[in-house]
Every structure is written in structure tokens, then in C-alpha cells.
Amino acid sequence: MCGIVGYVGNRPALSIVLDGLRRLEYRGYDSAGVAIVGDDALLTEKKAGKLANLEKALTEGPDTGIAAGTTGIGHTRWATHGGPTDRNAHPHVSQDGRVAVIHNGIIENFARLRAELEALGIEFRSDTDTEVAAHLLALELDVVRTEGGQGAQALAEALRRVSRRLEGAFTLLAVDTAIPGAVAGARRNSPLVVGRGVGENYLASDVSAFIEHTREAVELGQDQVVLITPEGIEITGFDGTPVEGRPFHIDWDASAAEKGGYDYFMLKEIAEQPQAVADTLLGRLTETGEIVLDEVRLTEQDLRDVDKIFIVACGTAYHSGLVAKYAIEHWTRIPCEVETASEFRYRDPVLDRSTLVIAISQSGETMDTLMALRHAKEQKARVLAICNTNGSTIPRESDAVLYTHGGPEVAVASTKAFLTQLVACYLIGLHLAQVRGIKYADEVGAVVGQLQEMPDKLRTVLESMEPVRKLARDLASAQQVLFIGRHVGYPVALEGALKLKELAYMHAEGFAAGELKHGPIALIDQGTPVVCIVPSPAGRGVLHDKIVSNIQEVRARGARTIVIAEEGDEAVVPYADELIRVPRTPTLLAPLVTTIPLQVLSCEIASSRGHDVDQPRNLAKSVTVE
């Protein structure tokens, strides 16, 4: 939700913190701010709007010398409590001006804590929940020091005491002017990772913040406090018990998070999809034809006992789950349901030890999905995670993990995350079928072979997108765009509509084509663009014929039909006002090729309408609050 970064070392902290914030701006961009610790002084600056506003304010401000300080924290905000204003931007500072705090998440009991602090005479200067943490920490520091606590350890102990009082989901970073050379962080249900350097250390909500400086990281667990100094990293539980963090190596470098000559990160990430799919497939099939997951804490008997599957996810990940349902049920013959994670636990689903819950999340920190996962675990269900972020909460709390290896995805609207999640879902479906004895190794190998052909097919699609860009510029003034599909084309239609809503702020809806006659066809007017995802006539001939009939129905009512069909499908030609060809692909795998034109279409329409493609309004990359 928000981007946070902390640094302590021997170099000026300001430039390092700002550089980290640039890499994290996709996580939150309503406002930004920094706090730098100098000689018994604190430099804070914060501004509403994009990071550029903060950088301008820092340039225009007085040169106090504090900017040369070697300890600092920084924040990019996506507003929850309090509007996106200068006063609500982070950091928040204690009343005595000593302590600065930044925060990701929501402190659910902030109102009660604020009333308690106001009764002590503390005046609040913002509308945020975060400010209570700054004032509480300053008070606790005073108590710890009267008890004999000194230096950086006092900061860590005070933060542990404050964390025990807070309810909700939060990551906190804190500095104290009396303790230069130390940053303390606390984590509960919200992302925080440590970067390990030489004579310097880092904290951030995402490894991309410090990847330019180190590729060695340490994973933090739930309800833990970390203290970083130039000399080391100390991790404890909220109760003070020492904890060993799990170290890991980041296998991509800083250039992977740069635009690489593209106008937008989204364009770069669309272009990276062939490689991302190839990387997700890499090493997944053993010489004996067995599918390999990344981390498995389930026995094969556990998987053989599964009699029901739930897929829980949000947004684009939910759409990948809808596609997965077709493949998993077809290959395993296990009933499979797909649910929006935000609704899952509230309807009291029937779960037991024979239920497998597949949780899909690009970041591994999506709060709705995490809460659904925890509900499933409480009901004794098995949980398998699909995730792109090593060391994040969802895979860590799951019984098995398949990482998508898509590399960093910076643009808020997911593209390569969707395709790599599809590949991961296919692999899991094949793995289940294999373990349960429904598919033999040669059958699994044949499907994996088809998957391994997909990167080349994706490159072919990408090379033919110029007509789609031209079409998008023509559609930029449209009032609405509708999407229709059948079978696996239906989730693709939903994803295409979501992309257009996210990026172009247009009315866009995706429908199962067979539902048109049950109401949605009333939306068709003269010239209404309707994007039609057509299944292969070879794989699903009956469905193909039916959607051709649906195309004729909307065209007869004045729609402008934009048809996505595979090479060689001539039956659609008479009914397509615009025809977009994709390579011939097995039916269940077709979403991998039919999705790309919709991504390009949405991106180009948004650009033509003058929108920020990478950072659409009101959205953040990771939704880490419910």
C-alpha cells in the first residue's frame, strides 16, 4: 500500500532514501516525505502529490547541514486515514520533535489511543492513525530510559512496547534524534524486509528500494521488531525474544526495475512477458517427468486426499484463478471454486483437512488474500501459494509455494503477473493430476511441452501489435467498451475490462457471451465497441460456433466488433469490423496469447487520453489493508 525505506551507514542518507522512494513510488503516490537524523537534530520534509514535489521542496529549503546525516527514513503514501495533504504525509513527529515515524497499514485502535494521548495534553497535527505511534514511542522512550535503557537498544525496546499496544496491520519505522546511527522497524501483517550491506543496512517494504546497493536480504516474520545499525541487524519478537531472520539472495538487479528505454514500466513489462513465462517454467519438469514446486510442506498423500479446491485471490489474480478452474477441473476432476478473497471468510465456507486452498498474490502481501489464507488454516485446510515475491507473508504461511519468477512488476496494473500466474496455475493442476494418478508423466510432459512453446508465441503476438495501437488511438474517445468471451475466454474478457477501467477510467464490462441475451445486450448502441475473444474452432467447436452467433447478435444492433481469433479461423471474418490474429494455441492455454492484445489496447487508450499509465488514480500496487 505505502512504500517505506530506511537507511543507516556511513553515506549521506538523503540521496539513498530518495532513490529508494523513486523505486517504491508505485506503491503509494498521494504524498511523500523523509526524516534525516543529524547531530541531535531532525530534518523532516513532506509534500502531498508525487515524489517530485518533495524533491523540489528539499531543493528549495534552507541548507541546515542535516541533509548530510547518515541515518534516514522515507515514505510514499497511499492515503487511508486522512486525505492526501501535506499535514497527513509521513513522517509524523512526536510533540517534542525528537522521534519520527513512518507507517504502512492501519492501526485499528488509533481512536482510543488518540483519546488517551489527548487526555495527556498532546496536540495532534494530522488526521492520521500513524501519529499516535510517534507520540506513544516518545513516551515509551522516556520510560525505557528511566529504567536504564540506553542507545539503540532503548529505541528497539520502546518500539516493542508500542507494537504490543497496537491493533491492526502495520509496518513502522522509527528514528530518534538522540540515537543517530539506528533505525528500528516493526512488522505485523504488512511487508518489511532487511537489506544487508557492508558497514550499512537497509529496511524497506520491497527489495527494489535497496537493490542498487545490495542483493543480500533478510526475511522478517510476523510480530517482529528489527534494529539496524551500521554494524549489524538484530531481530526480536514483540516480546523481546531474539529471532534469527531467514537470509535470501535477490536474483535480479537494479536494471530490472528501470524502464529500459520504454515510455512506461507497463510497456516494458508487457514486452518482458515471453521471458517471464519462460523463467516461470524453468526447471519445473524433472528428468522423470515430475512437476517441481518451490517449497512443499505437504506429502503426496495430503494431495491425494484433496476432495475440494478453493482458489482465493483479488483483481487480476482472481481472473487468473478463473482460468485455472477450467484447467484444474479438466485435468484432476476435483471440484474447484474461485472466490474473491475479500468475501471468502465472511461467508463461512465449508473447509476441512481435505480442502486445498490456492492463494494467488503477486506481492505475497495482499491483505484480503492473507486473511482468507489464515481463515483456511484455522479450519485445517491445506494452503498452496502462487506468488512472485520471495520471503513475503503469504508464501511463508502456506503449506506449499510455487514462485512465478516474473521479476519486479512496477506498473500498478498487472500484466506479466497475470501470465505467469496462469502458468503457475497450469503447473499446479498438472502436479495434482500427476500425484493423484490421473495423468502419466508423458501426458504431463506433453502439456509442459506446449507451455514451453508459449514464449515464442507471445513474441509473435507482441510483434504484431501496431494495428492494435492504431485501433486504440481510434477508440480513445469512446464512452464505453464491452468484452465478451466463452469458456477460458470469459475470464480474459473480465481481465480486459479491468485493465481498461484501471488505466483509461472508462466504463468497461466483461461478460460471458451467453449472458448477453439475459440483460447486457441492452447496453449495445450504434458504434459501441465490443471486444470478442473467440475460442479455437479446433478445440471447442461448439463454443466457437456459439460465440460467432453472439458476435452477429451484437453487430446486428450496431456494435463495432473487435474480434480476437486464432490464425486460420475464417468463420469470424465476415462479422469482424476489426480482426486481431493470435497464434494457434491449445484451448486451455489460449488466455496466454489472447490477453496481450487487451493489455496493449488498454495501455494505448490510456496514453492517448493523457493518463499516467504506470500510476492510475486512486490505485496502489499492493493492497495491504482490508
Query: Is the Cβ–Cβ distance between 35 and 91 less than 8 Å?
Result: yes
Compute CA 102 distance to the chain's CA centroid, rounded to the nearest angstrom: 21
Would you state the pLDDT for residue 77? 87
Give residue 571's domain range: 458-616
Would you state the pLDDT for residue 319? 98
Would you state the pLDDT for residue 622? 63
Judgement on whether residues 226 and 247 belong to the same structural domain of the protein: yes
Judgement on whether residues 318 and 401 belong to the same structural domain of the protein: yes
Judgement on whether residues 247 and 279 belong to the same structural domain of the protein: no
Would you state the pLDDT for residue 344? 93
Query: Is the Cβ–Cβ distance between 95 and 37 less than 8 Å?
Result: no
Q: Which of 253, 283, 309 is the last residue of a domain?
A: 253
603 catalytic per annotation? no
Distance of CA 552 to CAs 210, 518, 601, Å? 54, 16, 23
Average pLDDT over the chain, rounded to whole? 92
Residue 520 has pLDDT above 80, yes or no: yes
Judgement on whether residues 273 and 193 belong to the same structural domain of the protein: no
Judgement on whether residues 86 and 212 belong to the same structural domain of the protein: yes
Specify if 372 maps to a domain. yes
Number of domains composing the chain:
3
Judgement on whether residues 291 and 239 belong to the same structural domain of the protein: no
Residue 619 has pLDDT above 90, yes or no: no
Specify if 622 maps to a domain. no
Specify if 185 maps to a domain. yes
Specify if 287 maps to a domain. yes
Would you state the pLDDT for residue 207? 86
pTM: 0.74
Q: Which of 408, 431, 452 is the last residue of a domain?
A: 452
Q: What is the mean pLDDT of residues 593-603?
A: 97
Query: Is the Cβ–Cβ distance between 117 and 94 less than 8 Å?
Result: no
CB atoms within 10 A of CB 164: 11
Query: Is the Cβ–Cβ distance between 27 and 196 less than 8 Å?
Result: no
Judgement on whether residues 189 and 301 belong to the same structural domain of the protein: no
Judgement on whether residues 331 and 441 belong to the same structural domain of the protein: yes
Would you state the pLDDT for residue 66? 67
Q: What is the mean pLDDT of residues 331-335?
A: 96
Q: Which of 405, 424, 452 is the last residue of a domain?
A: 452
Judgement on whether residues 389 and 430 belong to the same structural domain of the protein: yes
Judgement on whether residues 241 and 333 belong to the same structural domain of the protein: no
Model confidence band, residue 263 (pLDDT cutoffs 50, 70, 90): confident
* Residues of the chain above pLDDT 90, percent: 74
Render pLDDT for 157-184 as a digit per residue (tens, 0 to 9): 999 999 999 998 899 999 999 999 999 9
470 catalytic per annotation? no
Specify if 560 maps to a domain. yes
Query: Is the Cβ–Cβ distance between 93 and 57 less than 8 Å?
Result: no
**Residues 155, 156, 162, 164, Cα dihedral to 10°:** -170
Question: What CATH number is given to the structural domain containing 92?
Answer: 3.60.20.10
More confident residue, 30 or 457: 457
Phi-psi region of 186 (alpha: psi -120 to 50; beta: other; left: phi over 0): beta
Residue 38 has pLDDT above 90, yes or no: no
Residue 524 has pLDDT above 80, yes or no: yes
Cell of 623: 493492497
Question: What CATH number is given to the structural domain containing 332?
Answer: 3.40.50.10490
Environment class of residue 121 by beta-carbon count within 10 Å: exposed (0-12), middle (13-18) or buried (19+)? exposed
Residue 229 has pLDDT above 80, yes or no: yes
Would you state the pLDDT for residue 294? 85
Catalytic residue among 2, 425, 532, 603: 2
Residues 6+ apart with CB under 8 A from 414: 315, 316, 317, 362
Specify if 625 maps to a domain. no
Residue 254 has pLDDT above 70, yes or no: no
Judgement on whether residues 315 and 331 belong to the same structural domain of the protein: yes
More confident residue, 258 or 419: 419
Residue 195 has pLDDT above 70, yes or no: yes
The b/e string for 420-431 (b: 16+ C-beta within 10 A; e otherwise) is bbbbbbbbbbbb
The region of weakest confidence among 41-45, 473-477, 585-589 is 41-45
